[in-house]
Structure 1
Amino acid sequence: MAVTEILLSIFLALVAGVFYITRRNLTYWQRKGIPCDPPDWLFGNLKGLMKTVSFAEAFTRIYKHHLGTGPFCGFYFFQRPAVMVLSPDLTKQVLIKDFSNFVDRGNFSNPKDDPLSGHLFALDSQKWRVMRNKLSPTFTSGQMKYMFPTVTAVAERFVETLDGEIAKSNVIEIKDIMARFTTDVIGSCAFGIECNSLKDPDAIFRRMGRSVLTDRRHSNFVNSLIHAAPKLARKLHVRIFPDEITNFFINIVREAVEYREKNNVHRKDFLNILMELNKGKLKFADKMDEKGLTVEEMAAQSFVFFVGGFETSSSTLSFMLYELAQNLAIQRRMREEITETLAQYDNEVTYECINSMPYMKQVIAETLRIYPILPHLQRVALKDYVVPDQPNYVIEKGMPVYIPVMGIHHNPEIYPEPEKFNPDRFSPEAKESRDAINWLPFGDGSRNCIGMRFAQMQMRVALIYLLRNFEFSTCELTEIPLQMDPKQFLTSSTNGIYLQLKRV
């Protein structure tokens, strides 16, 4: 047989093999008899993802299309079969009741080659359990009280900064200045460093914060492939963070640790707890916990605290002020509650004070319902799982499971007129009439957001200082409705949020 014929035979065999595997993958749900939309041969059910369609839009579309057909429907993440949860009962099973089988998120993590990827949000199984156990002391109520004066000090500077901005123009782009506020808060609480983002919009921490969200080592398409096949990406020694970002956070942690050790500095902050862990001062039952953290591990946890703390809270605050500017009656009611509550505390902003404002909590909850920053939750089945009382619905071992938070939050059967901003949805009476699993901005169960207390504290402090000093209203530059950015994984507006401010 000629060489050409051999090569042609090999080529045809490879093509046939690829065709067979592709067809087998993309007919998985049809063969199982589970509802699923016809997939694209390459993109599965996510064509246009992060180009013209965001994760939130893509998953919400699938959720709404199949809602009511069963506990879950199938879809294809590129050519990988995946589960989209449709019912509250299965959501509870995955997040809470059968959590032990769905402990892993299945995100990409490669600490060996990409140190910052070894953070708590991405770690799985035992590594996650150990790190979560170690970091939990950071976010207790007691620790929040220690950090509280730092947050209020930054909030006071925030008011001064806004006064300076108003002197130039009463129309302000809220999204960026909120990020500068939360950057300064997180920089101080996490690293004990004055970031000065409020004074200098181009300060190094603010620039790094922007870079984390905008600079990519790979294209969105390649990042989606990494997300779809994290184990393969890890075997290929893939890295996702640009070197500049990795080097910055490792160096800043190393320098801060060296300075504190040399000068015997002790602060009640996140970095101090990491240092105590590194020295073995905090002991746990599990022997693995006795092992100290490396500088790279400390940097990874500081990194995720920084990014999660500044971006999620600043975006939520921006969306909240955007809604309050359009709903002045709600804004006035909040301001009245702030004034009345502060009067009970001698006009002093205290930790107890910020937790004594029920209507503010409702406004924050409603904002997070409309604009959940994390548009979906992800888990992976550790072993085959048969949905209770639904023997035909089986989630196979290793299969990714997605809970469409944005879709649930905008389901009119759960929240009538879902696009309307209505904090009364979260009055005590309204909450009692609704299953709590249908509000998931912080997740639920053992793997909920570890920084939830800190985020709530930071946002409440900001709102008190903002609304007691300023009134927010729309202007000609205010975009109504907001255009959301399909290229961002987190819920984010494409353009700025411009509002008019005046002193009260």
Structure 2
Amino acid sequence: MAAAGGAVAVARGARPAQQTGPALAQAGAPVPQVQVVEAPPEESRAVAAEATKHPILPEKNQRQKTEDGTKMAIFFDSWVTEMLAVLSTVFAVLYVTFKINYTYWKKKGLPYLEPSFPLGNGWNTALMRKCPGEDMKDVYFATEGKDVVGIYSLNNPLLVVRDPELIKTIIVRDFNYFPDRGIYVDEETDHLMAHLFFLGGTKWKALRQKLTPTFTPGKMRAMFGIVLECARVLADVTPAGSVVEVRELIARYSTDVIASCAFGIDVDSQHNPEAEFRQWGRRFFKPSVRSYLTQALGFSNPKLRNLLPIPFTPKDITEYFTRVVDDTVKHREKTGVIRKDFIQLMVQLKNIGYVDDSFSITGQQSTEQTSNRLTTKEVAAQAWVFFIAGFETSSTTVSFCLYELARHPDIQKKVQEEIDDVLKKNNGDVTFDIIMTQMPYLEKVVNETLRMYPPVPVLNREVAEDYKLPGYDCVLEQGTKVLIPVMGLHYDRKFFRNPEKFDPEHFSEEQKASRHSYCYLPFGEGPRICIGMRFGLTQVKVALVHLLSKFDFLPVGDKQSKSSQQWSPPAASSGPRQQPAAVPRLQPSSPAVVLARSSPHQHRPPPAASGQQRSPPAVTSGCSHQRLQPTAVAATSGRSHQPAA
């Protein structure tokens, strides 16, 4: 409001215009005088209330948005700058932490390979340039002359043990310090992981005691007829004079063996490659980013794996195989069927808490035996590890063996002659004892295959309590991981004269006596040796006997294989069969040419079973496969006998 005489009245709380006297003077206007007058009380309160609603903030707090309307960050003008600052800080903290951890083995006074941030020494494996076995083999040869060497997976210290005597100490003599594999196990989210290979501590010990009687030689003889029947089908479905993808052929054979023995079902994937059971198994073994991450972290860094709540086995696969086991168990319990296979022994453990030679699921129980009984989920977990361990290792070993025999026709001929002689002596019969004891050259061939292509190329252990490393002024703390480079040992010239060459004579008695017994570890050693080793070797040898007794195998690309359609097998008395020419090294998954052989012996027909017949299979509810009934096997002195195909 204007006052008389050019005076301006300013109410309390109002803000006058910011104009100076000189500026007004230059404009030619008289400089007004400002007079402060007291405003009425009601007006003052109204102005104060309005000021409270719209406070005048300092200039630095008024900049809530940039000119284009983008919201400002907390500490910087841009959220991008702020994010970069946060990431830089996190990176710096991680870098310093990893660098400090990378001094672990240096402080321990042990030799080590220099790591690099952030993957340590695991770059080749992490980037999938090499498999873990090949990577550890490189570590083994990069540290020649050292008994142990330290490496790092991310920032996790691992000790690689190279010396066979120290390996023996760790996995046998001082086993109590190294009882576990140190693998991530989450039974709540994935009950199929609660099996013998993954478990540790008291759970592993109790389960090992329960399952050990299921793999005795007597049990293997009882199951032998099932393996033999699958091998006969293998020989029948193998096309002579054709190019065959051996890996797929043997995978279907292994699937049938495992499905029959471990799950009690007849999937017949050898005649039907797209059988449901085979498809589910193929899916599990198919490489994927998910499986790579879960397995890599589960083995190398279980603590980091705990942060990823992803089950090791996909949920739908878990549900399918659990349902198959549950159906089989219920079928056996309901019908009282006794079939001499692995799942029958698991049903015994579930119902009566112990295993015996009767295979019966009924019997007297003590209090202790009642507490030893397995649950259905535990039965499913043991059947599952039977599948993943028995399928992959056996099919891979047979495939590699045939691959090497195709490349070395002289060795193939020699093992065929041994098989022919043994079958002739036994009138075509193949028994468990014949396979395991009367074919020494076949034994050498299989051992040499396992040396060059070990199914488990790296063994791992975890320190259970602080351990003084023999020969070193060093204590390994609880939780430290220990690796044994099996593939490196198998290719060391100190132990094998020509490790790059496929030579069964590496396992002659003379050469075996000249080297340390713990430089050959295809199945591990000590209390945690593979419990199914005997069954796996039986499965491999039976397949090789049936195939090599009927077929010659040639690598694709060989001169003779190109004219295989015109090739005819020689008569039994016409002398040695023609040998294929040497060819360049092929990939192990390459197809092979299969040529029919003339049989130097006559197989007698299958003997009639005494008082036992095969019952018609019952269809399983919910699964497209057949439930197996007792197999008709002729028994002599407690052993199963069947003629070779």
Tell me whether the two structures share a fold, i.e. TM-score over 0.5.
Answer: yes
Is 1:481–2:562 an aligned residue pair?
A: no
Counterpart selection for 1:65 from 142, 147, 153: 142
Output aligned runs, 1:61-460, within 5 Å. Answer: 61-69=138-146, 71-162=147-238, 165-166=239-240, 170-214=242-286, 216=288, 218=290, 220-221=292-293, 223-234=295-306, 237-282=309-354, 290-355=371-436, 356-388=438-470, 390-460=471-541
Q: Distance in 2 between matches of 1:344 and 1:144?
A: 23
CA contact (8 A) 1:171 1:475 kept: yes
CA distance in 2 between counterparts of 1:44 and 1:288 reads: 48
Assess if the C-alpha contact under 8 Å between 2:122 and 2:153 holds in 1: yes
Give the structure with higher Rg (CA): 2
Specify the SS of the correspondent of 1:48: helix
Runs (5+) with no aligned partner, structure 1: 484-492
Task: Output one character per residue of 1:31-78: Cα deviation in whole Å (capped at 9) or x when no partner.
Answer: 323222221211110103152121012111111111212x21000012
What SS does structure 2 have at the residue aligned with 1:429? helix
How many residues align? The count is 486
Partner secondary structure for residue 195 of structure 2: coil
Q: What residue is the counterpart of 1:25 in the other structure?
A: 101
- CA displacement 1:65-115 (0-9 Å, x = unmatched): 11212x210000121000001111111011111111111001121111111
Do residues 499 (structure 1) and 592 (structure 2) align?
Answer: yes
Q: Tell me the alpha carbon deviations over residues 122-160 of structure 1, each in whole angstroms, 9 at most, x when there is no partner.
A: 000111111111111111000000111111111111111
Is contact 1:134-1:289 (8 Å) kept?
no
Rounded to whole Å, the distance in 2 between the matches of 1:285 and 1:57 is 50
- Find the aligned partners of 2:370 and 2:529 in 1 and give their Cα distance: 21
Where does residue 489 of structure 1 map in the other structure?
none
Contact in 1 for aligned 2:244/2:592 (Cα 8 Å):
yes
Deviations 1:446-475 (A, max 9, x none): 100000110111111111111110011122
How far, CA to CA, are the matches of 2:448 and 2:351 in structure 1?
Answer: 42
Q: Give per-residue Cα distances to partners, 1:17-43, cap 9 Å, x unaligned.
A: 433321221221223232222212111
2: distance between equivalents of 1:367 and 1:10? 53
Contact preservation (8 Å) 1:172, 1:499: yes
Letter in 2 for 1:381: V
Q: Residues of 1 paired with 2:316 and 2:593: CA distance?
A: 37
Structure 2 residue identity aligned to 1:501: V
Name the SS of the counterpart of 1:49 in structure 2: helix
Secondary structure of 2:473's partner?
A: coil
Q: Which residue identity lines up with residue 34 of structure 1 in the other structure?
A: L
With over 3 angstroms needed to count, the CA separation of the structure-2 counterparts of 1:461 and 1:226, relative to structure 1, is closer
Kindly indicate whether structure 1 or structure 2 has the higher relative contact order, using CA contacts under 8 Å at least 6 residues apart.
1
Q: What letter is aligned with 2:396?
A: S
Aligned residues of 2:353 and 2:374 also touching (Cα < 8 A): no
Q: What CA deviation, in whole Å up to 9, does each residue of 1:398-457 have, x standing for no partner?
A: 111000001110112211221101101111222111111011001011100000110111
Structure 1 SS opposite 2:141: helix
Which of 24, 36, 52 matches 2:129? 52
Residues 198-255 of structure 1, C-alpha deviation per residue, up to 9 Å, x if partnerless?
0011112221221121154726245423332224534654312112211111000011
Equivalent-residue separation in structure 1 for 2:499 and 2:443 (angstroms): 19
Asked if the contact 2:294–2:305 (Cα under 8 Å) also holds between the matched residues in 1, the reply is no
Partner of 2:631: none
- Residue 34 (structure 1) aligns with: 110
For residues 228 and 340 of structure 2, what CA distance do their matches in structure 1 show?
15
TM (norm. structure 2) is 0.71
* Counterpart secondary structure, 2:157: strand
Matched residue SS, 1:107: coil
Q: Is the 8 A contact 1:197 1:203 kept in 2?
A: yes
Look up the SS of the partner of 2:160 in the other structure.
strand
Contact 1:90–1:387 (CA under 8 A) maintained in structure 2: no
Residues 289 and 213 (structure 1), Cα distance of their counterparts in 2 relative to 1, 3 Å cut: farther
| Stretch moving more, 220-229 or 3-12 | 3-12
The answer for the alignment partner of 2:542 in structure 1 is: 461
* CA distance in structure 2 between the aligned counterparts of 1:302 and 1:136, rounded to whole angstroms: 14
Contact persistence 2:552–2:595 (CA under 8 A): yes
For residues 394 and 42 of structure 1, the distance between their equivalents in structure 2, rounded to whole angstroms, comes to 26
State the alpha-carbon separation in 1 of the partners of residues 289 and 380 from structure 2: 19
Structure 1 residues 13 and 314 mapped into 2: Cα distance closer, same or farther (>3 Å)? closer
Counterpart of 1:486 in structure 2 is none
The worse-fitting range, judged by mean Cα deviation, of 187-196 and 212-221 is 212-221
Deviation at 1:5, TM superposition (A): 6.0
- Taking the aligned partners of 1:322 and 1:140, their CA distance within structure 2 comes to 31
Partner AA of 2:329 in structure 1: V
Higher normalized helix content (fraction of residues):
1
Q: Is the 8 A contact 2:462 2:481 kept in 1?
A: yes
- 2:20 corresponds to: none
State the alpha-carbon separation in 2 of the partners of residues 351 and 340 from structure 1.
17
Aligned to 1:156, the other structure's residue is in SS state helix
Mapped contact 2:113–2:149 kept (Cα < 8 A): no
Assess if the C-alpha contact under 8 Å between 1:366 and 1:421 holds in 2: yes
- Is the 8 Å Cα contact of residues 109 and 234 (structure 1) preserved in structure 2? no
Q: Distance in 1 between matches of 2:444 and 2:189?
A: 43
Summarize the Cα distance change of 1:86–1:289 in structure 2 as closer, same or farther, 3 Å threshold. Answer: farther
Contact 1:216-1:242 within 8 A present in 2 as well: no
Secondary structure (helix, strand or coil) at the match of 1:197 reads coil
Conserved 8 A contact 1:95-1:445: yes
Q: Per-residue CA shift, 1:358-400, capped at 9, x if unaligned?
A: 1111110000000001111000011122222x23343222111
Residue 308 of structure 1 and its aligned partner are, at CA, apart by 1.1
Q: CA deviation at 1:170?
A: 1.2
Alpha-carbon deviations, 1:240-287, whole Å to 9, x = none?
Answer: 211221111100001111111111111121111111111134189995
Please tell me the root mean square deviation across aligned C-alpha atoms, in Å: 2.5
- Report percent identity of matched pairs: 37
